[in-house]
């Protein structure tokens, strides 16, 4: 996949195009991307995804405190390449850009700069100033252009159409199995190991505290998870806790991500790791003392061994 910063000086062959944020690049997105790639092959052309950076909500919203996303741009690049997309065009999203009307963007960018003949959009897609660009307005804008618009229906489950927001909600509520099923892969977080209070070491379960690389990366709901840690090219079964550690911490407002890597004794402070969420084991529990906590962690470890080894 070839990555382009902006849409100037492109030389694309019969581009079949789609555009959007693609947070998570989940199974709903994959339905659209599969159609995109298929249409490009039929046209003997190239498949093109247009996305935006930073996320438009980071530019347009006043309160950023509650914002969180499923994927970083680097993660999107990998997932889109795995979907066999030929080209990714990343457009810088600014306040000025947000004021461009949908018809102007279609004419100036999609048609004149990119050379689009065929645009594929999702079932609920909107773009342009105030989200005015939808399937009907796009068709109206392109009536005088040599331009085909196709709308692809989303991927539906018994619960309804898969969306990035429904996956974010599932992760926050601890419904990891559902979220991973809708994503089509296991959710992950990358970060750096930072020094903690070393309380886990004192009860026989040394843990590494993780600081996520991306401040807006969604952190799943509090609880204990069976995870796999990727470090130095190897994968280690691990158990991970997200929460405030109520048994040993009186300040319930401080939330941390701590991972205990099984059969591992290396010093990895300051090192980068990735965590792949495989199964949610239980809720966070406040025990009467650290002995009870240690006994529960032994049970958690047994579950991890059964699930991941």
- pLDDT tens-place values along the chain, 309 residues long: 999 999 998 999 999 999 999 999 999 999 999 999 999 999 999 999 999 999 999 998 888 888 999 999 999 999 999 999 999 999 999 999 988 888 888 889 999 999 998 999 887 666 655 556 677 777 777 777 778 888 887 666 666 778 999 999 999 999 999 999 999 999 999 999 997 666 666 566 888 899 999 999 999 999 999 999 999 999 999 999 999 877 667 666 678 999 999 988 888 889 999 999 999 999 999 888 888 888 999 999 999 999 998
Task: Write out the H or E segment, with its range, that includes residue 223.
Answer: strand 223-231
Rounded to the nearest 10 degrees, how much is the dihedral formed by the CA atoms of 55, 254, 265, 260?
-80
State the Cα–Cα distance between residues 223 and 285, nearest whole angstrom.
8
Question: What pLDDT does residue 161 have?
Answer: 77
Between vectors from CA 137 to CA 59 and to CA 85, what angle results, nearest 5°? Answer: 65
In this structure, what DSSP letter does residue 287 have?
A: -
Measured in whole angstroms, how far is the alpha carbon of residue 48 from the centre of its chain?
Answer: 20
pTM of the complete model = 0.91
State the Cα–Cα distance between residues 240 and 257, nearest whole angstrom.
7
Tell me the domains of the chain and their CATH numbers: 2-161 (3.40.50.620), 186-308 (2.40.30.30)
Which residue blocks in the chain are alpha helix, DSSP H? Answer: 27-42, 56-60, 73-82, 95-98, 102-105, 135-141, 164-172, 176-183, 199-202, 290-308
What are the respective helix, strand and coil percentages of the chain, to the nearest 5?
Answer: 30, 30, 40
Instruction: State whether the Cα torsion 229-171-21-37 is positive or negative.
Output: positive
Contact between 206 and 199 (Cβ < 8 Å): no
Distances from the Cα of 147 to the Cαs of 106, 139, 282, 288, in angstroms? 10, 9, 52, 67
Length of the chain: 309
> And the tokens for 160?
């309804």
Strands 188-194 and 46-53: unpaired
Please report where in the chains the tokens 């999203």 appear, as a residue: 93
Cross-strand pairs, 236: 229
Contact between 216 and 284 (Cβ < 8 Å): no
φ and ψ of 273, to 5 deg:
-140, 165
3-state secondary structure of 299: helix
> And the tokens for 232?
């130095």
Identify which of 207, 130, 217 has the alpha carbon closest to the alpha carbon of residue 171.
217
> And the tokens for 267?
């010093």
Identify which of 294, 292, 234 has the alpha carbon closest to the alpha carbon of residue 264.
234
Numbers of helices and strands, H then E, in the chain? 10, 14
């Amino acid at each position: 996949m070839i990555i382009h910063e902006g849409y100037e000086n492109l030389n694309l062959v019969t581009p079949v195009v789609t555009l959007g944020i693609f947070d998570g690049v989940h199974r709903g997105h994959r339905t659209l991307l599969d159609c995109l790639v298929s249409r490009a092959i039929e046209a003997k052309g190239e498949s093109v995804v247009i996305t935006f950076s930073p996320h438009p909500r980071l530019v347009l919203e006043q309160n950023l405190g509650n914002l969180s996303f499923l994927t970083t741009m680097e993660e999107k690049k990998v997932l889109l390449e795995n979907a066999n997309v030929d080209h990714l065009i990343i457009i810088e999203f600014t306040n000025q850009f947000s004021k461009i009307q949908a018809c102007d963007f279609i004419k100036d960018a999609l048609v004149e700069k990119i050379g689009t003949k065929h645009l594929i959009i999702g079932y609920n897609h909107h773009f342009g100033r105030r989200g005015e660009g939808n399937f009907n307005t796009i068709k109206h804008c392109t009536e005088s252009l040599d331009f085909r618009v196709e709308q692809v229906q989303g991927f539906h489950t018994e619960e309804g159409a898969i969306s990035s927001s429904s996956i974010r909600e599932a992760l926050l509520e601890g419904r990891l199995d559902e979220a991973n099923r809708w994503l089509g892969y296991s959710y992950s977080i990358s970060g750096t190991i930072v020094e903690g209070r070393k309380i886990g070491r004192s009860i026989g379960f040394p843990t590494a505290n993780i600081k996520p690389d991306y401040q807006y990366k969604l952190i799943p709901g509090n609880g204990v998870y069976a995870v796999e840690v990727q470090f130095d090219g190897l994968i280690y079964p691990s158990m991970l806790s997200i929460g405030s550690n109520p048994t040993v911490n009186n300040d319930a407002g401080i939330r941390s991500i701590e991972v205990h890597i099984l059969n591992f004794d290396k010093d990895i402070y300051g090192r980068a790791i990735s965590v792949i969420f495989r199964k949610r084991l239980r809720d966070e529990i406040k025990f009467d003392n650290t002995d009870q906590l240690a006994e529960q962690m032994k049970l958690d470890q047994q579950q991890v061994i059964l699930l991941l080894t």
